[in-house]
């Protein structure tokens, strides 16, 4: 006798509509949030973020710091990718449920409950890790935890009553397929950012760092983040120009890495590509030196150095000439919460000029050839603005 696929109306345990759609809707929302976190993860780690992420709300709530931590990946695959695939697997089984015959639905729905339960367990584990091991909380990660709990609650209410728990080899095959796809997709995504030889280049950068000599870098009034040099396990020294696009792209990954590792110190020095204050550069533009002095003044006069650093890079396209910089000093002062006149007066002071000249001379003494130039514990680190490279070096130091 020919059989036809069963429908909810003749199955002994039709899913409860409201609970079913809560589970499906939450899984869709979780998958979308994971997709955003995944894109942000790769962008941040490979220097494609030109400012703060959408979910970098405050010092306490920051996705960047969570993404740069060692807990952001499992088996070198981003947790966001694992979460996306798990929710996709749930949605696949939920869609298949309406096409499955009565006997097969028991196994299918057992799989649905198993996946939703794993999502909850993973969410609780990651939530505990975030609260205990990380200095910041990831707001969008918290959203995925909430969505996972809603998915599981809806699934258990919709599919559990009168269910005969049963797992078939086909379900294990689905799990294996999604697991393998995680490694394959991760390799493809990473290659899209770094090229086919990206891993090899990162390893070469770390290898070069291990062989480079340790240089003495006197602490010359830097913009600093993290513990003192004496207390830090790893000290990142960066020389940069505020009108350098590669320096702008280095900001987010370096700060995120430092925030996710409390024993890492970052020192930022200006090395303006501007002959007005840097004798190693032949051409004068005036703008780079003025921007360097402006950020120095924001720190020394109002303790707003990192705020100014962030806003100057965020407004990167506005600083084409020194006149353009001067015309915007008032709005910049307002943005960082500093008296306009104080910022303008200081930026042209001899004190500020001497400070930036000293930083430029320090960089020149280290034989800099361009920006950003990054040193870790006194040794030049190629590709030092990429989180995978910083992570590898950190592991060797620890």
Range scoring the smallest mean pLDDT among 65-74, 193-202, 313-322: 193-202
Helical pair 305-314 and 245-260, crossing angle rounded to 10 deg: 140
What CATH number is associated with residue 205? 3.40.30.10
- Among 158, 173, 194, the domain-final residue is 194
Q: What whole-number distance in Å separates Cα of residue 46 and Cα of residue 200?
A: 14
Mark whether 279 and 205 lie in a shared domain.
yes
Q: How many separate domains does the chain show?
A: 2
Rg (CA), the chain: 26
Q: Is residue 212 part of a domain?
A: yes
Mark whether 125 and 205 lie in a shared domain.
no
Mark whether 230 and 253 lie in a shared domain.
yes
Mark whether 44 and 155 lie in a shared domain.
yes
What CATH number is associated with residue 72? 1.20.1440.130
Which residue range is the domain that position 280 belongs to?
201-397
The mean pLDDT of 148-158, rounded to a whole number, is 96
Mark whether 145 and 39 lie in a shared domain.
yes
Mark whether 281 and 385 lie in a shared domain.
yes
Neighbours of 37 (CB within 10 A): 26
Confidence grade of residue 17 (pLDDT, cut at 50, 70, 90): confident
Mean pLDDT for all residues in the chain: 92
High-pLDDT (> 90) share of the chain, %: 79
**pLDDT per residue as tens digits for the range 165-179:** 887 787 888 889 999
**pLDDT per residue as tens digits for the range 241-284:** 999 999 999 999 999 999 999 999 999 999 999 999 999 999 99
- Among 194, 218, 241, the domain-final residue is 194
Q: Is residue 361 part of a domain?
A: yes
Mark whether 146 and 216 lie in a shared domain.
no
Inter-residue contact 265 to 228 (CB < 8 Å)? yes
Mark whether 208 and 339 lie in a shared domain.
yes
- Among 194, 212, 236, the domain-final residue is 194
**pLDDT per residue as tens digits for the range 104-118:** 788 889 999 999 999
Q: Is residue 93 part of a domain?
A: yes
**pLDDT per residue as tens digits for the range 293-304:** 999 999 999 999
């Amino acid at each position: 006798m020919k059989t036809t696929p069963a429908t909810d109306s003749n199955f002994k345990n039709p899913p409860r509509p409201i609970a079913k759609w809560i589970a499906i809707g939450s899984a869709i929302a979780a998958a979308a949030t994971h997709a955003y976190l995944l894109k942000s993860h790769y962008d941040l780690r490979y220097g494609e973020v030109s400012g703060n992420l959408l979910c970098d709300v405050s010092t306490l709530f920051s996705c960047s710091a969570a993404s740069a931590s060692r807990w952001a990946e499992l088996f070198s695959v981003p947790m966001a990718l694992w979460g996306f695939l798990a929710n996709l697997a749930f949605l696949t089984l939920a869609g298949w449920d309406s096409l499955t015959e009565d006997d097969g639905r028991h196994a299918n729905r057992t799989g649905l409950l198993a996946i939703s339960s794993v999502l909850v367990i993973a969410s609780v584990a990651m939530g505990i890790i975030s609260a205990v091991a990380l200095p910041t909380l990831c707001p969008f990660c918290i959203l995925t935890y909430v969505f996972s709990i809603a998915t599981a609650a809806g699934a258990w209410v919709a599919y559990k009553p009168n269910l005969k728990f049963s797992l078939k080899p086909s379900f294990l095959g689905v799990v294996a397929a999604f697991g393998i796809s995680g490694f394959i997709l991760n390799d493809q995504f990473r290659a899209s950012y770094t090229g086919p030889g990206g891993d090899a280049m990162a390893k070469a950068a770390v290898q070069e760092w291990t062989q480079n000599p340790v240089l003495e870098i006197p602490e010359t009034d830097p913009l600093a983040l993290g513990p003192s040099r004496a207390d830090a396990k790893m000290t990142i020294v960066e020389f940069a120009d505020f009108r350098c696009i590669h320096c702008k792209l280095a900001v987010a990954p370096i700060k995120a890495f430092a925030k996710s590792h409390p024993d890492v110190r970052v020192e930022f020095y200006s090395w303006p590509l501007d002959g007005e204050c840097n004798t190693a550069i032949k051409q004068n533009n005036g703008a780079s030196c003025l921007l360097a002095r402006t950020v120095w003044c924001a720190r020394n006069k109002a303790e707003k150095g990192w705020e100014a650093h962030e806003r100057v890079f965020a407004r990167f396209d506005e600083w084409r000439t020194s006149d353009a910089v001067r015309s915007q000093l008032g709005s910049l002062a307002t943005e960082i919460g500093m008296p306009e006149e104080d910022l303008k007066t200081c930026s042209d002071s001899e004190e500020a000029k001497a400070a930036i000249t000293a930083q430029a001379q320090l960089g020149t003494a280290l034989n800099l050839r361009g920006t950003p130039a990054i040193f870790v514990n006194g040794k030049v680190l190629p590709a030092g603005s990429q989180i995978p490279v910083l992570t590898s070096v950190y592991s060797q130091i620890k």
